[in-house]
């Protein structure tokens, strides 16, 4: 009897352990918000509504194309917004337009925006400031903290010793996602590269930004989000943001909200940081973040991704021939699946997360595309934007 009780207590204690929790759930999924403790980000008292322009015959060919293309892609919601009007809407069976869905790393773009707002307000004097000004305890971890700036974090060039792609229950990224105390994890961070030298996508950068924001403003992340973005953007629904086991916001991921509310971060940037006459974030910050030449060169800026238009071919000769016909000089590269491709620079940008959760912005045609759903191969949003452009010519 005593042995049985001991085994029971041991198993109970182990069940709370992050590695065992990650083994239990194995991989992230769309229902993860139910597995974690969440805080509520309250909706706006004056919600903003996109207009509906569905059924417009101008977009019939686009609708027919997308209705077919999206079949089998595990997409739950696919919304195209042009000039503040919803011109296309795809919802999978059983999905409601008001259903909350996980952002995964789309959350990073909200954190980047909150940093920009803090800079505008003078709470952070400059992104060239050292991280240890706000988190001085990190200086003892590595001499290279004397070089690490906030901008390095924003652009994923910190040089942290942190493996984003390690799929094992004891890895830092898995432990981060499944609830390890992120403040303790950040407190132990060491370096493997000189800051600014190497681009490496690491979610821990965003988490460090969140702790800097809290130190600089004296407010927690959920309050900053609610007061400076969610409510000013006219959110129609409450959002849920997941916490770690220490009660810290998982800033690098885990906002659960509706597709139309996620779209509003795209609208803010599309309008140069202005929301219906009020400048929520400076146009200068938006311009620096979305500059196509900067984005193309660095791939990533201020927690937003650059986009490229990929063309794939069965062999290199076909790729070179196609390049010649277009009069282009982009390099031909080989994909891991054996196909060859080249990627053209485009003037679009996006907030993107795992499973290809996306808020995609096309300034030329004033288009925002939101895609939420399960794991799938990437969709070519730029081609869909081109279809929108052709439809309205």
The reported pLDDT for the residue numbered 17 is 57
Reported as a pLDDT band with limits 50, 70 and 90, residue 346 is confident
- Do the beta carbons of residue 159 and residue 191 sit within 8 Å? yes
The reported pLDDT for the residue numbered 384 is 77
Six-digit token string for 180: 């390890």
Is the pLDDT at 99 greater than 50? The verdict is yes
Is the pLDDT at 215 greater than 90? The verdict is yes
Is the pLDDT at 30 greater than 70? The verdict is yes
Is the pLDDT at 103 greater than 60? The verdict is yes
- Do the beta carbons of residue 254 and residue 182 sit within 8 Å? no
Q: What is the mean pLDDT of the chain?
A: 90
Reported as a pLDDT band with limits 50, 70 and 90, residue 19 is low
Which CATH homologous superfamily contains domain 6-91+101-391? DD-peptidase/beta-lactamase superfamily (3.40.710.10)
For 141-170, what is the mean pLDDT? 91
Q: Where are the domains of the chain?
A: 6-91+101-391
Percent of the chain topping pLDDT 70: 90
Q: Which residue has the higher pLDDT, 30 or 11?
A: 30
Residue 121's alpha-carbon distances to 114, 209, 281, in angstroms, are 11, 16, 9
pTM over the 0.95 mark: no
Reported as a pLDDT band with limits 50, 70 and 90, residue 21 is low
For 216-231, what is the mean pLDDT? 98
For 362-386, what is the mean pLDDT? 85
Count Cβ neighbours within 10 Å for each residue of 228-249 and write b for 16 or more, e otherwise.
bbbbbbbbbbbbbbbbbbeebb
- Do the beta carbons of residue 135 and residue 285 sit within 8 Å? no
Residue 123's alpha-carbon distances to 33, 52, 154, 296, 391, in angstroms, are 32, 39, 16, 30, 45
The pLDDT tens digits for 244-284 are 999 999 999 999 999 999 999 999 999 999 999 999 999 99
The reported pLDDT for the residue numbered 26 is 53
The reported pLDDT for the residue numbered 8 is 43
The reported pLDDT for the residue numbered 392 is 65
Largest CA distance in the chain: 80
Q: Which residue has the higher pLDDT, 159 or 377?
A: 159
Backbone angles phi, psi at 99, to 5 degrees: -70, 135
The reported pLDDT for the residue numbered 24 is 54
């Amino acid at each position: 009897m005593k042995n049985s009780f001991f085994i029971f207590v041991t198993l109970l204690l182990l069940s709370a352990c992050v590695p065992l929790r990650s083994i239990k759930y194995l991989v992230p999924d769309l229902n993860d918000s139910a597995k974690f403790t969440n805080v509520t980000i309250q909706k706006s008292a004056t919600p903003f509504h996109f207009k509906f322009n569905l059924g417009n015959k101008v977009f019939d060919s686009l609708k027919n194309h997308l209705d077919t293309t999206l079949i089998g892609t595990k997409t739950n919601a696919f919304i195209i917004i042009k000039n503040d009007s919803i011109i296309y809407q795809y919802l999978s069976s059983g999905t409601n337009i008001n259903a909350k869905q996980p952002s995964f790393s789309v959350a990073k773009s909200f954190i980047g925006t909150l940093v920009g707002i803090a800079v505008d307000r003078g709470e952070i004097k400059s992104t060239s400031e050292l991280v240890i000004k706000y988190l001085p305890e990190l200086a003892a971890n590595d001499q290279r903290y004397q070089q690490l700036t906030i901008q390095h974090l924003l652009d994923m060039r910190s040089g942290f010793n942190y493996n984003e792609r390690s799929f094992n229950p004891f890895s830092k990224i898995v432990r981060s996602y499944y609830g390890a105390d992120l403040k303790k994890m950040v407190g132990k961070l060491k370096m493997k590269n000189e800051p600014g030298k190497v681009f490496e996508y690491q979610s821990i950068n965003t988490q460090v930004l969140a702790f800097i924001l809290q130190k600089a403003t004296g407010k927690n992340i959920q309050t900053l989000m609610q007061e400076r973005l969610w409510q000013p953007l006219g959110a129609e629904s409450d959002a849920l943001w997941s916490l770690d086991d220490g009660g810290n916001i998982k800033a690098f991921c885990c906002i659960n909200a509706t597709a139309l509310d996620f779209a509003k971060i795209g609208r803010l940037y599309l309008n140069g940081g202005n929301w219906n006459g009020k400048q929520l974030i400076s146009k200068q910050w938006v311009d620096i973040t979305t500059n196509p030449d900067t984005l193309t060169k660095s791939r990533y800026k201020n927690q937003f991704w650059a986009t490229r238009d990929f063309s794939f071919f069965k062999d290199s000769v076909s790729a070179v021939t196609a390049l010649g016909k277009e009069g282009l000089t982009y390099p031909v590269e080989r994909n891991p699946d054996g196909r060859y491709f080249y990627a053209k620079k485009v003037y679009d940008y996006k907030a993107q997360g795992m499973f290809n959760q996306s808020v995609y912005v096309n300034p030329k045609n004033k288009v925002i595309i939101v895609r939420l759903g399960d794991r799938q191969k990437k969709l070519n949003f730029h081609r869909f934007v081109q279809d929108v452009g052709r439809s309205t010519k």
